[in-house]
Amino acid sequence: MGRVRSSKSFFLMLAFLMVVVAGLAGCSENSSGESGGDGKWAGQTIKVQMIGDFAMEDSTDPITGEKTKGVHVLKEEFEKQHPGAKVEFILMPWEGYTEKTQAMLTSGEADVYQMPGVADFAPQGVLEPLAPYIEKDEDFNLDIFIENQVEGWKALGPDSDELKIYGLPFLGDARFIAYDKKLFDQWGVDYLSDHPTMDEVAEKAKKMTGKNPETGEQNYGIWFRGDWSSAFTLIDTAEGQNGRWGTGFAWDEIKFEFNSKEMVNGLNWLLDMQDYAPKGLVSNQGSENWMTKDNNIAIMLNQGPGDTVKPAYAQGLEDRIGIAQEFKNDEGRGGLFAGSPVAIAKDSKHKDLAWEWLKFATSDFAQKYVFEEMGLVPSVNSALEWDSVKEQDLMLPVFDAMKTPWTPRYPWGSAQPRFILTSEIESALTGKRDAQAALDKAQKESTEWLENR
Amino acid sequence: MKTTMSHKKMERISTWFKFIILLVFGALLIAPFVWMISVGFDKTANVTMPFPPKLIPEQISGFNYGIVFENGRLIQSYMNSAIVTVSSVLISVSASLMAGYAFSKGTFKGKKFLFILVLCTLMIPMEPRLIPLYKLFNSVDLLNTFWPLILPPIINGMLIFLCKQFFDQLPDTLREAAQIDGAGEFKIFFKVYFPLSGPIAATMVILAFIWSWNDFMWPLVVLNDQELHTVPLYLASFSLENGTSLGGLTMALATVSILPIVVVYLFLQRYIIQSIALSGVKGE
């Protein structure tokens, strides 16, 4: 009897909980009706997707500890500038952004997307080409952007073999060589030049490996990630010798040159640099003291502003950190192009308002917000004149680094060839294969992948 | 007499030896958790993880926990996770128990084929199902609600398989006796087999709870409003683009977010051991 009662009460409880859950789940539905009110844009609502640690409400920056304003600031200003219009945000983390963006585009969930993967999405025909808007809008000029930024985000459309503008630069990013001036001083070595060569970096890294003459502690001349970003580090060494990753942009046009003479030299150079680096490059180890007062590494290859500029100022190390440019070819080009553009969805119902948002997102108001509140890198030239930028000397070489990366961005940067190349660099760094064999294998496997995709 | 003393002494030494070995392995197993809690109290770990790992941070600070509980977003995400997890667990466990019973004791046409079909669902990962499922819920206007998280686990191949395996071990004679007494299938299930299914139900609750609580990709795709985000989504909102993470904050968040799972496991652990013994899911 007891068991029967308990099974009855279990199902009564289940039924009760189902009712409660139904209520709660149903109540959670987000109302997103069109806005009312007067004004030129009355009745129009746009949904804007943003990726990163954006939040609606004000919060505390985990690195600096300072209070930062939420994106409600952007909403209020845009709605003020566009009477009658309404903005809704879809804020999401970096993790899984590709899948979510794909799903959202499939069902027309948002009007505007922050879209680092524009080169993958534009060929699907889900994005609006921006040239007609740019040509029509007399108030807008592409010259506002830092050199090379617009070029870097160009992509191929579904029926075109010509690169077109599908996104306007929103967040800037760059890769550069960072170094510790204090260690250079202690070793009596001249700082890196603004555009160092591989020979200069190698020579200085060698000099600063060993017992520090002042502290007696073990120092290492150089460090680079042998795993996650190693493909881009290697490609940059090839570019420094006037080499390249290959040619083409559309998948059916791409030809890899992963085992070219410059790439093999570059990998051999990285293997040589291993002698001046702490152990554990392939497992992202050895740099644990970087950006602390106990730092023991002189030169860091392939660094980004996110892991250099803000942490340096937060730790009070801004006078100790120097930034030099990555290796460039004879035309001054080289390094990874990165960041995020903003794009309009093809099936947006309010494309004109979405275009207004794109202009707003690249205006000084929004760009100052991303720099001053979020610590992200702006994409506009005017940033060089802002007081907040002038207060951070380290930002100036970052803007320089944004002007000269390889563009358009490596089209295979988020696809299988990157992981094949990374894997073979790991093989070389761990002594499983020599540089030539590793890159021959990377070339063969990447080409096969391309042919079979 | 001397031999007895020596035997007792040997036993004592052996006990101490076992105790020390267990203590060492226990310490090794618990070390990552202790480290996680320790780093959570270290503000500077947001820039660089302390190296070598230290048991106690140099400057103990509640900074990271302050951010964790700021604006009530974590509390909100806990409530969201609780609604989703409790509902999903109740529905998936109840449905799986009934389906498992049907596949085990039921006699109907196409039973084997249907069971193979259910097992096949185990072989399809979430990624290829993502877009079709998304479009399905979009077509019925249920995106950005908790329903897409609650409804799909009704058919859970793994849980149905576990239940079938469990009910297979219970004698058919129970069912036959009940049938002789005039009971129908529902009555037999609810009054005879369901009361005996405590251990497997507890195992399923634990598994379903962990799956639902930790699920990231599907909730990320279907929930747009930050107010509806579950705990893993809240956790991921602090990740940075370049593959690095805010060590101190992440550890503080991880500490707080695993607490419910630890509590549930502590309450139900004896059932899971019991069910392993009964259902033979120990990989033999």
pLDDT of residue A407: 85
Please state, as a whole number, how many other Cβ atoms lie within 10 Å of the Cβ of residue A19: 10
pLDDT of residue A340: 95
Indicate whether A360 pLDDT > 80.
Answer: yes
Cis peptide before A158 (omega within 30 of 0): no
3-class secondary structure, A129: coil
Please identify which residue in the block is written with the tokens 């969201």: B80
- Split at pLDDT 50, 70, 90, the class of A41 is very high
pTM attached to this predicted model = 0.85
Tell me which H or E stretch contains B159: helix B157-169
- Split at pLDDT 50, 70, 90, the class of B49 is confident
Share of chain A above pLDDT 90, in %: 82
List CB contacts (< 8 A) between A229 and chain B. Answer: 243
Indicate whether B272 pLDDT > 70.
Answer: no
- Mean pLDDT across the stretch A14-25? 55
pLDDT of residue A349: 95
Indicate whether B68 pLDDT > 50.
Answer: yes
Indicate whether A18 pLDDT > 80.
Answer: no
Tell me which H or E stretch contains A95: none
Gap between the Cα atoms of B48 and A310, Å rounded: 12
Is the Cβ–Cβ distance between A85 and A41 less than 8 Å?
yes
pLDDT of residue A225: 94
- Split at pLDDT 50, 70, 90, the class of B276 is low
Gap between the Cα atoms of B94 and B101, Å rounded: 11
Indicate whether A148 pLDDT > 80.
Answer: yes
- Mean pLDDT across the stretch A324-332? 96
Eight-class DSSP state of A52: S
Between B258 and B144, residue with greater pLDDT: B144
Which CA distances in Å does A237 have to A269, A431, A437?
Answer: 8, 20, 18
- How much is the mean pLDDT over chain A? 91
The predicted complex's ipTM stands at: 0.80
Which CA distances in Å does A212 have to A216, A222, A294, B171?
Answer: 5, 14, 12, 76
Gap between the Cα atoms of A369 and B159, Å rounded: 49
pLDDT of residue B267: 81
Indicate whether B277 pLDDT > 90.
Answer: no
Low-confidence winner among A127-136, A147-156, B234-243 (lowest mean pLDDT)? B234-243
pLDDT of residue A9: 52
Gap between the Cα atoms of B96 and B163, Å rounded: 7
Indicate whether A258 pLDDT > 60.
Answer: yes
Q: Which of A137, A191, A189 is nearest to A165 (CA)?
A: A137
Nearest to A103 among B86, B134, B246 (CB): B134
Ordered alpha helix ranges (H), A107-193? 118-121, 131-136, 149-152, 181-187
- Mean pLDDT across the stretch A287-301? 94
Quick check: A228 contacting B, CB < 8 Å? yes
Q: Please tell me the distance in Å from B123's CA to the nearest CA on chain A.
A: 20
pLDDT of residue A2: 44
Gap between the Cα atoms of B123 and A400, Å rounded: 50
Is the Cβ–Cβ distance between A188 and A224 less than 8 Å?
no
Nearest to A4 among B142, B144, B191 (CB): B191
3-class secondary structure, A152: helix
Determine whether the interchain pair A103/B242 forms a contact, defined as Cβ–Cβ distance below 8 Å: no
Q: Please tell me the distance in Å from A4's CA to the nearest CA on chain B.
A: 6
Q: Which of B243, B52, B34 is nearest to A292 (CA)?
A: B52
Q: Please tell me the distance in Å from B18's CA to the nearest CA on chain A.
A: 35
The DSSP bridge pattern shows strands A210-211 and A255-256 to be unpaired
Residue of B nearest to A22 (CA): B147
List CB contacts (< 8 A) between A18 and chain B. Answer: 87, 90-91
- Split at pLDDT 50, 70, 90, the class of A27 is very low
Size of interface A-B (CB pairs under 8 A): 153
Phi, psi of A394 (to 5 degrees): -65, -20
Determine whether the interchain pair B220/A100 forms a contact, defined as Cβ–Cβ distance below 8 Å: yes
Indicate whether A35 pLDDT > 60.
Answer: no
Rama region for A338: left / alpha / beta (φ>0; ψ in -120 to 50; rest): beta
List CB contacts (< 8 A) between B241 and chain A. Answer: 51-52, 94, 173, 306
Share of chain B above pLDDT 90, in %: 50
List CB contacts (< 8 A) between A306 and chain B. Answer: 240-242, 244
**How many secondary structure helices (H) and strands (E) does chain A include?**
17, 16
Which CA distances in Å does B62 have to A65, A259, A316, B37, B39?
Answer: 12, 51, 21, 11, 11
Task: Suggest the residue from B39, B41, B46, B48 to mutate for an interface test with chain A (most A CBs closer than 10 A).
Answer: B48
Gap between the Cα atoms of A268 and A274, Å rounded: 10
Gap between the Cα atoms of A424 and A258, Å rounded: 11
- How much is the mean pLDDT over chain B? 87
- Split at pLDDT 50, 70, 90, the class of B183 is confident
pLDDT by residue (tens digit) across A62-78? 888 889 999 999 999 99
Cis peptide before A305 (omega within 30 of 0): no
pLDDT of residue B275: 63
pLDDT by residue (tens digit) across A393-415? 999 999 999 999 998 889 998 89
Between A352 and B213, residue with greater pLDDT: A352
Q: How far apart are the first and last CA of chain A?
A: 64
Determine whether the interchain pair B241/A306 forms a contact, defined as Cβ–Cβ distance below 8 Å: yes
Q: How many residues in chain A? A: 453
Between B123 and A422, residue with greater pLDDT: A422
pLDDT by residue (tens digit) across A151-164? 999 999 998 889 99
pLDDT of residue A25: 52
Q: Please tell me the distance in Å from B188's CA to the nearest CA on chain A.
A: 11
Eight-class DSSP state of A146: P
